Structure 1
Amino acid sequence: MPAGSGNQVKGMTMQANEIAEVLNRPTSQDLLARDVTRVAYVAKDGTPRNVPIAFVWNGSEIVMCTTKNAPKLTALRTNPMVALTIDTEVHPPKILLIRGRAELDYTDGIPAEYLEANTTYEMTAEQRVEWEAEVRSLYVDGMVRIVVTPTWAKLIDFETTLPTPVEELVKRRQERQSA
């Protein structure tokens, strides 16, 4: 996407350079190096789903891999819009919110991203060899890469950025105090 081109999401426009600015912050980069995101989408029955899934950030896209028979694929073919959350388990939490459109890429083998997404788990070299052999024997029909290019992003670190409703409350408090 050319720099400066806008992404329209329900009346909210975010420019490519604004997305890049959010994603290139050190805290965002730390979060993008984590193992698991939660991907939210609308299921086939019209109800929301939010599932944890391993991912890899390749510098421009979030790549997740799944089985070819995963129910989320039918849903994503119908409505490819997704929301991702990558966060920490400490206080104050660090939260990276990303929205985008999922593109489905069916592969015959095991995508490199699937193996890469699982490299940070604590395994001995022997366990890793056994795990990869198990993966290769299980996914003989290949996998599907779910590729999301961010069209919107927000970092919430509770130090320099807050959730938008909390930012509004802080602004109102400042206005009351200065009146």
Structure 2
Amino acid sequence: MDVLAQGDLRLLDDEVARRLLASTELARLAYVAADGTPRVFPMLFHWTGEEVVMSTFAGARKIAALRARPDVAVTIDSAGPPPEVLLLRGRMEVTDVEGVVPEYASAQRRYAGEEQAAAGIAEIDGPGLRMARLALRPSWVGVLDFHTRYPGGTTAGEFQKRGR
């Protein structure tokens, strides 16, 4: 069995990656803020099959920070046991949108269900609504499942000896 190296984009087809991309786990977006310090922000997301799309409302400070420094990391993970982790890296593309970002609506439906999503979207959708579409097309992918893939590329035996 060939094991894909961490970083290989084909890991997006891994069972763990597919499960996490379809889940209601939060994505954690890591970026560098305008003051040069790191930030991690939990966000709803939608996987298009090519991009992890998150949304925010116009005026959010992260918009300018992401435009200035678009290199980001994202993790989507489950607590387990054992934990399952999808790690993504790439450049975030920020697009201004008048009205509701379509992927925001899709994410709301997945996380909250049709009825609650419709009510929430109706509450915000009105004249003058401006949002930003934050799209990450991964350039690096990592998967940790603690069965076949461990941090640092270690084996199960090596992982058991950690710290010794």
Q: What's the TM-score once normalised by structure 2's chain length? A: 0.85
SS in 1 for 2:119: helix
CA distance in 2 between partners of 1:66 and 1:113 (Å): 11
- Specify the code of the residue in structure 2 equivalent to 1:107: V
Shift of 1:128: 3.8
> Out of 27, 31, 36, which is 1:46 matched to?
36
CA pair 165-30 structure 1, distance change in 2 beyond 3 A = closer
| 1:140 aligned partner | 128
CA distance in 2 between partners of 1:37 and 1:112 (Å): 18
Confirm whether residue 82 of structure 1 aligns to residue 64 of structure 2: no
CA pair 68-161 structure 1, distance change in 2 beyond 3 A = same
CA distance in 1 between partners of 2:114 and 2:11 (Å): 35
After superposition, the CA RMSD in angstroms is 2.3
Shift of 1:58: 0.6
| 2:45 aligned partner | 55
Shift of 1:135: 2.1
**Contact in 1 for aligned 2:91/2:138 (Cα 8 Å):** yes
Confirm whether residue 112 of structure 1 aligns to residue 102 of structure 2: yes
Shift of 1:153: 0.6
**Contact in 1 for aligned 2:150/2:156 (Cα 8 Å):** no
| 1:5 aligned partner | none
| 1:159 aligned partner | 147
Higher gyration radius (CA): 1
Identical residues among aligned pairs (%)? 37
CA distance in 2 between partners of 1:124 and 1:112 (Å): 14
Query: Whose RCO is larger (CA < 8 A, sep 6+)?
Result: 2
Confirm whether residue 27 of structure 1 aligns to residue 16 of structure 2: yes
| 2:3 aligned partner | none
Shift of 1:118: 1.0
CA distance in 2 between partners of 1:25 and 1:166 (Å): 18
| 1:130 aligned partner | 119
Deviates more, 1:26-35 or 1:159-168: 159-168
| 2:85 aligned partner | 95
CA pair 128-22 structure 1, distance change in 2 beyond 3 A = closer
CA distance in 2 between partners of 1:110 and 1:75 (Å): 21
CA distance in 2 between partners of 1:168 and 1:91 (Å): 15
Unaligned runs of 5+ in 2: 1-5
CA pair 52-107 structure 1, distance change in 2 beyond 3 A = same
CA deviation profile, 1:154-173 (whole Å, cap 9, x unmatched): 000000100006449819x7
